[in-house]
Structure 1
Amino acid sequence: MSGRRTAAAALLMLAATAAILLAMGRPPICTCGHVALWHGAIDAGNSQHIADWYSPSHLIHGLLFYAAGWALLRRWPVAARYLPALAIEAAWELLENSPMIIDRYRTATMALGYEGDSVLNSLCDIGFMSLGFWLARRLPVAASIGIAIGFELLTLAVIRDNLTLNVLMLVWPIEAVRTWQAAIG
């Protein structure tokens, strides 16, 4: 698949994801009425703007998807390996904004007031995954691993949450972890 076809397929996937999110009732931007490049507070503005403390987890998705594509689809051109990664991330954004997962976040994780993502944030999350994928393509494996570990430790230290804990708490909630996470501030 050529680079142009890959880009066209990626843009089509992004447009379809945005259209579905809008049809699901997700707001295009933060309901606060403005767009911020960075939202660093741990509050209702999370998942509403361009980037926040959960953006590194999406970059890590890209690192992991690149590794999985390299392991499973090694004979495919890298541009063709990107499309399944993009499809998985887009599907996650749709699932993450479904009532079932929003309710799960509210009951099983520290995201007690989580309302779901804005469409802008979902598309930017996909962008961060894409950045991680293409970084992994260029960086040595050790650098990709270092970035993932660094971001996991940084977000753990700053917000008491990261990709690892997010997955753990969605799949197998542990009350002691939830209590520890809630003590932030």
Structure 2
Amino acid sequence: MTLRAAVIAGLLLFPLTAVVLLAMGRPPLCPCGTVLLWTPADNVAESSQHIADWYAPSHVVHGLLFYFGLWLVLRSRPRPELGFYALAIEAAWEILENTPIVIERYREATLAMGYAGDSVINSLFDLVWTVFGILIAMRAPVWLSVTLAIALELVALWAIRDNLALNVLMLLWPIEAIKAWQLGAPG
């Protein structure tokens, strides 16, 4: 896949993802009627409804990880093709993440008890943050990508007591002690 073909195919993933999410009944914008550049951590009701929130860094990490994983498996494929595949995985995740079963799993297993799923604008910007991670992974040395991923994870952990690693752990294998710590209970 050429760079041009990968860019065109990647750009087509944005409206395709939006159409699927809208067909699933996801709101295009925050039901609150505003569009914010940033949703602070204490605004749980509007989390994942605006352009960015404390989970945006995890989508950069998605891009780094998806690209690196694909590079390990499909090393002979051109970089733009791997970048497109990484973005396609993220688009598929954005759709899966907004299904009722995954939304309910977030509510019961993680600290996101009031989570209502993403607005379409949030999901599309999650794809944008993933593109940043993919572009970094395509161009930066592996050590820099790893350092960036760790730094982003630590910043999110410090800011909101959550990050991609904890999110995945709590979705797949919830640990009550971690959930209590995330909710601020003494532990």
What TM-score bracket applies, with the shorter chain setting the length?
over 0.9
How far apart are 1:87 and its partner, in Å?
1.2
Is contact 2:67–2:137 with CA below 8 Å preserved after alignment? yes
Question: 1:27 aligned to 2:48?
Answer: no
Q: Which residue of 1 aligns with 2:149?
A: 148
Displacement of 1:34 in angstroms is 1.2
Name the CA distance, whole Å, in 2 between partners of 1:163 and 1:35.
24
Please report how far the alpha carbon of residue 76 of structure 1 lies from its aligned counterpart in structure 2 after TM superposition. Answer: 1.1
Counterparts of residues 6-17 of structure 1 (less than 5 Å) = 6-17=6-17
Q: Please, which runs of 5 or more residues in structure 2 have no aligned partner?
A: none
Which amino acid is the alignment partner of residue 19 of structure 2?
A
Q: Root-mean-square deviation (CA), in Å?
A: 1.1
Q: How does 1:103-114 map to 2 (within 5 A)?
A: 103-114=104-115
Q: Is contact 2:7–2:84 with CA below 8 Å preserved after alignment?
A: no
Q: What residue ranges of structure 1 are gaps of 5+ in the alignment? A: none
The aligned residue for residue 81 of structure 1 is 82
Matched positions, count: 184
- Superposed, which structure 2 residues align to 1:96-107 within 5 Å? 96-107=97-108
Determine the C-alpha separation between the residues in 2 that align with 1:63 and 1:28: 27
Task: Report the Cα distance in structure 2 between the residues aligned to 1:164 and 1:2, rounded to whole angstroms.
Answer: 33
> Given the two structures, how large is their TM-score scaled by the length of structure 1?
0.96
Between the aligned residues of both structures, percent identity stands at: 56
Q: Does 1:18 align with 2:18?
A: yes
For 1:89 and 1:79, the matched residues in 2 are separated by: 15
